[in-house]
Structure 1
């Protein structure tokens, strides 16, 4: 565990803090229409197309979901209905945190400001943030930035808004492809990977691994200080 104590701890929200259940939502909509094998293929296609959809010019997140579902339907060979994409999108603000998040975040928030950089919309994210159970210093969305992660623009915007450099923060995510690869390329040395099982480990990107947010205090050098308090 690194003992670097950052000025800010910055986070991905969806998947890392919020239990971002896109796979479950897709199964709730399409599970009765597809065989188990086809459903597995649909979920994987939906995951891949979501990433592809955020790599171009910014668009509302509903369009990201809509286009990803439409492309997944085409790939699997079933009819696409716009109301199905809307139904999945409408689930997003109802999702709360992973069970380990409220206590783990609260421990760190007592000492270091917490910042969220999320691939979300201004009117969507706050419902999820309010469920985290800890004070958040700042929330920045892809809508505010005009770009989605893994593009660098959001990270650069965040650093400018915080008035600090990459050497001043610890960035926390469960995803290499959306967050930690970009953080590495931008020179953010202090990175924490929350191993939620979304992606395999990749030590090339020089991070501290934790199994859940309960391990974050130690990863940012607070464990000893908190024990002494």
Structure 2
């Protein structure tokens, strides 16, 4: 039986895909390039090509790697492979939006928990994401800080060490994420309690996120971050916002 939502002191968050709409950011930028060059792109096709290119063995850190990724996927989308468009895709990360519920839900959750960001993005991009989300985080770990990327357990171990220095342990953490591959599976293997935010619940497939080798049934499951915040309020006996 899953632990009560009220039993945790920390919520750790995947950021890109859970809080920030990276798929919308990528497809929106590609659509803009397409419009300028006299063509159109299908969003799901673009995400499928992105997913394959992003996980090449020579992939770099995100979102800097989007320059390389663009050059790989542009021919398949009928777009010019000019480097300047790849740089435009990379730089678009600075203006990607949070999901409509992210900022308000994080503010509600921050009243009860310490929020920790865990992102495979580089620090420069995370700073933009954090501002978009209202700077709600107690601490943040990026690929630059950890020297690795999820689902590497070493990323999580650095977070455990931080929480340990504050006098707590991994049993005090609820890990919240949308990616089965990067977060839900590995958090389960490390003995964490997890919460799957199924952002693509209304769309088939895994979009821009790599498909896991096997599906992990989460401890808690919501289709929005607002759903998690509502469940926490309900567990605490508070009135859920209309």
TM-score class, shorter-chain normalisation, is 0.7 to 0.9
Structure 2 partner of 1:187: 191
Partner Cα distance (1:7, 1:23) in 2: 36
Aligned pairs for 1:1-229 within 5 A: 2-4=3-5, 5-20=7-22, 21-31=25-35, 32=37, 34=39, 36=41, 40-50=44-54, 52-53=55-56, 59-73=60-74, 75=76, 79-133=80-134, 135-163=136-164, 164-188=168-192, 190-197=193-200, 199=205, 204-217=216-229, 219=231, 221-225=232-236, 227=238
TM-aligned CA distance change 1:56 to 1:209, over 3 Å: farther
Report the Cα offset of residue 75 of structure 1: 4.9
Partner Cα distance (1:217, 1:43) in 2: 29
Q: How does the TM-score come out when normalised to structure 1?
A: 0.82
TM-aligned CA distance change 1:75 to 1:148, over 3 Å: farther
Partner Cα distance (1:63, 1:106) in 2: 29
Q: Aligned residues, how many?
A: 222
Q: Structure 1: which 5+ residue stretches go unaligned?
A: none
Partner Cα distance (2:17, 2:155) in 1: 18
Deviations 1:21-59 (A, max 9, x none): 21222222235454546x653331112322x14x678x4
- Report SS of the residue matched to 2:65: helix
Report the Cα offset of residue 151 of structure 1: 2.4
Deviations 1:123-160 (A, max 9, x none): 22112111213621011101111112222221122222
Partner Cα distance (2:96, 2:115) in 1: 20
Q: Which moved more, 1:202-211 or 1:14-23?
A: 202-211
Partner Cα distance (1:145, 1:56) in 2: 19
Report the Cα offset of residue 67 of structure 1: 2.0
Instruction: State the Cα RMSD in Å.
Output: 2.9
- Report SS of the residue matched to 1:26: helix
